[in-house]
Structure formats: C-alpha cells, structure tokens
Structure 1
Amino acid sequence: MSLSPGQLLLLGSPELWIQGERRTLPTRKLWGLLAYLALEGPKEREHLAALFWEGEGGRANLRRELVRMRKSGLALASQGSQLGLPQLQVDVEAFLGLCAARRFAEALPLWRGEFLEGLVLAESPLFAEWLELVRLQLSERYEEALLGRALELEEAGAYAEALGPLEALLRRNPFREEAQEAALRLYAKNRQPGRALAHFQGYAASLRQEVGLEPPRSLQALAEAIARGDPLPSPTPPNPALD
C-alpha cells in the first residue's frame, strides 16, 4: 500500500500519514478515537466521551484530546454534534474489500500485524471491549485470507509457494482442520509424503495432549491415502464467510 496523502494504517502499530509525512499523535486515546471513527463512522460527541472516559468530565477530556489532535496536523470532520473521520485512506477498509473480492494476493501484504497492535486502554473498558471484538474479527478474516491464498496456489499447481501462507496460518492456529488437511495435501504434492505423515502424527499428538481428541476421520483418511500413494483430492474452496 503506497503512502499517499491522508492515510491511516491500523493493521499493526498505528501510523498516520498526511501529505506524505508521518505524523505522531501524543496520546493512546487519540489513536483509539481515530480507529473507532474509521470503522464505525461518525458518532455523537457524548457517545465518544462515554466510550473513552468513565464518570463526569468526559466532554472536557474529549475537547482537550481534539485540541492535541489539531496540533498534530489533523482535525476531525464536525457536523452538528457529530464527529467523523476526515478524508483518509484506511488500510482496514482496503484489506476487507480485497478479501471480499477474494483478491488474497493483494490483501495479505496490507496485514502488518494485529489491529492497533500494542495499544492498551484498560482505563476505557467500553473501548477495550470494542477493540477486543474487532481484533478477533479481523484476525479471523486474516486467517481466511491466508487459507484462501494457499488454496489458490494449490489449485494453480504452485505447491511449494502455497506452503508459505499455509504455514503462517498454522503458526497462528494449529488446530484449524481445513489448514491441516491442506498441509497434508501440499507436503505430499510437493513430493514430501514422509513430511506429510510426520506432520499428521505431530498434529494428532498435539490434539490428544491439548484437547483430548483424535483427528477427524477425514484427516485420518487423507493420511492413509498419502501413505498408500493414492491420488489426492482437489482443494476445498475457501470459507464462504469471505463473501
């Protein structure tokens, strides 16, 4: 994603760029405020004050934060009692749009890390609850994009290249069954049947140890087919939740 005038990067450690120059915001709550408005749209000042400050004095605190933001070179859009984000390109919007269009190869480079990585606002419980939910939702979307990209590459016959996004997904979520099935197929198709079977045994042992379960029958059958040298099934399409 090129650094163009008016850009807000929220995937990973947050960054704000205005006219090609990186700007620093002086408080954590200003980053939270920008992120909230970027995803939720314009909101009433009272709502924003209550989101970040408990008890009385929220409106006064919000006004002080807005002054600090203006001094940093950015002013929020104001319409009546509502505040909104000015004209900024937001990486989250671009990422979600590309995922929805199944343009995974373009979406994945936008992911620099978790949403608002490193930001903690324990003193603002309502915002903290929202932040945790958004992080979970975007993390799921990222995992779906990794899987989707791996399956695309598998379908195209680029088995070695497909292992990159797939192994990144398994490092994040080793108990995702679709990813485990894809890993067995890809190792086998990449002429590494021994690695595929060793991977299956490692996964089965972890599953028993962590949750006391056996691998699903479909995964066991796939491992048995690899051991016999049988033809392998085609990849399953990515999760329809990306539609």
Structure 2
Amino acid sequence: MQFAILGPVEARRPDGTPVPLGGPQLRGLLALLALDAGRVVGAERLIDGLHGDHPPEGAAEALQSQVSRLRRRLRDGGAPDGLVEFTPAGYRLAVDPQDVDVHRFERLTAEARATADPAVKRELFAEALSLWRGPALDGLADPPRAARLAELRLAAIEDRVETELALGHHERLVADLRGLTGEHPLRERLAAQLVRALQGGGRPAEALTAFAEIRERLADELGADPSPELA
C-alpha cells in the first residue's frame, strides 16, 4: 500500500485505487503517522498536529478512537492487520518510508543534488516534483511542518531551474519563472534565475528591468539591497 501526503491525503492500494479514509481527522492522523513512517509518534505530538495549541477536552481518548477507526478503514481497504501499531511510547505506521511520497521526494532530491550529470539531475528533480499534487498536509493544524515541506518543494524547483539553465534552456524557463517570481516576489534566487533566463534568451533589456523591479521591492519592503548573487 502507498501513502500520499503531498496534496490531499490518500492511501492507495497496489493497483493505485484510493482507500476511502473518511473525514479530515482520520486523514490528518494518517498524514502525521506517514510523516514519520516506520517510527513511533507520541500521542501528544499527534494531538498537537491534529488540533494545534488548543486541543478539545478528552483529546487523548478521542485519539484512541480515531486510531481504531483508521485501522478499520485501512483493513477494509485491503491493508494487512497491524499496519498502525500501538506501543507504550505512541503509535507507528509500520511501513517502509519509501511507500510514502514525501520520503520518496526527499530521496529523489538528495540523489539529484548528488549527481554531476545535468540531464540525470533534471530527470530526478522532475520525478520528485511530480509527486506534489497540492499543498502538503492539506487541512492539518500543523503550519510549521507544512511550511517546512513547502520550502523543500520551492528549493527543489529552484535547483531544477538551475539545472535547466546549465543545459541552456533559457527561453523555455521565462514564463515559469515570471509566474514563480510573482508568487514569491522577494525570493532573490528566483529573481536572479529570471534575470539569467532573460539574458540567456537574448532579452537583455527585460533582464535589466526584472533586476530593477526586484531591487526596488527589496528596498521598499525590507529596506535591503540585493544579495551578491542577485547583484
């Protein structure tokens, strides 16, 4: 069985069909267990992830009930018994981490950064980024972990763009980079990549305009000068 949390939370049978998981609490519980697949997660940490700083009264008892319901949903979907284990220290999703998309994403991006072949690097980044179907941990009360995963995704996008620039694919990157810099207007690495893509694509005047725009935004919003890389 495969598990996906880089987007709407899903458990998938070997043929790829999704297992009905029920409401957001069960999907959230599965996501938190999948983040630490193969490792024990304490009950308090699960409660914090599901409810944030203000858990309801009786949250510990409710968690036990939710675990039972999740086990039943997974078993009805064809999972083996014991997939969600109880230990005195907490609960564990007893699967190989590589059965969870976020762990495959991290492995693929690490492999991409470790290889020197730009073409192989590009394919590995593309495979890793294709695992994303939307915001990670969608709907969970766990903003720090969701923000961390969003940052990992953006860093992988930037690294993929860097590889494409090294391969000389300047013009084809411009539209994507304009969209990305619009979404992240103070992200200097993306701005620098847009400048380089425009310059490499034979559009030096637009490259200078793009640089002037990010320099002005940095000054107005942060009171800062461009970094050495961007400058």
TM superposition score category, shorter chain reference: 0.7 to 0.9
Change (3 A) 1:207 1:73: same
Change (3 A) 1:165 1:100: farther
What's 1:25 paired with? 21
Maintained 8 Å contact 1:26/1:68: no
TM-score by length of 2: 0.75
1:83 correspondence with 2:91:
yes
- The separation in 2 between residues aligned to 1:202 and 1:52, in whole angstroms, is 41
Q: Deviations over 1:16-64 (max 9, x none)?
A: 2124321232232222221211223223456645765747633431232
Maintained 8 Å contact 2:32/2:49: no
Which of 9, 15, 18 lines up with 1:14 in the alignment?
9
138-147 or 58-67: bigger deviation: 58-67
What's 2:119 paired with? none
How many residues of Structure 1 are paired with residues of Structure 2 in the alignment?
Answer: 205
Question: Could you tell me which amino acid in structure 2 is paired with residue 85 of structure 1?
Answer: L
What's 2:105 paired with? 95
* Bigger Rg, structure 1 or 2: 1
RMSD: 2.7
What's 2:131 paired with? 110
Q: How does 1:1-243 map to 2 (within 5 A)?
A: 6-19=1-14, 20-40=16-36, 41-45=39-43, 48=46, 52=50, 54=55, 57-74=58-75, 76-81=83-88, 82-87=90-95, 89-102=99-112, 103-117=124-138, 119-120=139-140, 128=141, 131-163=142-174, 166-216=177-227, 219-220=230-231
- The separation in 2 between residues aligned to 1:211 and 1:219, in whole angstroms, is 15
SS at structure 2 position matched to 1:93: helix
Q: Deviations over 1:176-229 (max 9, x none)?
A: 222222211110110111211221222223223322334346644xxxxxxxxx
SS at structure 2 position matched to 1:12: coil
TM-score by length of 1: 0.72
Structure 2 alignment gaps of length 5 or more? 76-80, 113-123
132-141 or 18-27: bigger deviation: 18-27
- The separation in 2 between residues aligned to 1:196 and 1:77, in whole angstroms, is 53
SS at structure 2 position matched to 1:8: strand
Change (3 A) 1:52 1:139: closer
What's 1:123 paired with? none
- The separation in 2 between residues aligned to 1:9 and 1:37, in whole angstroms, is 12
User: Among the aligned pairs, what percent are the same residue?
Assistant: 29
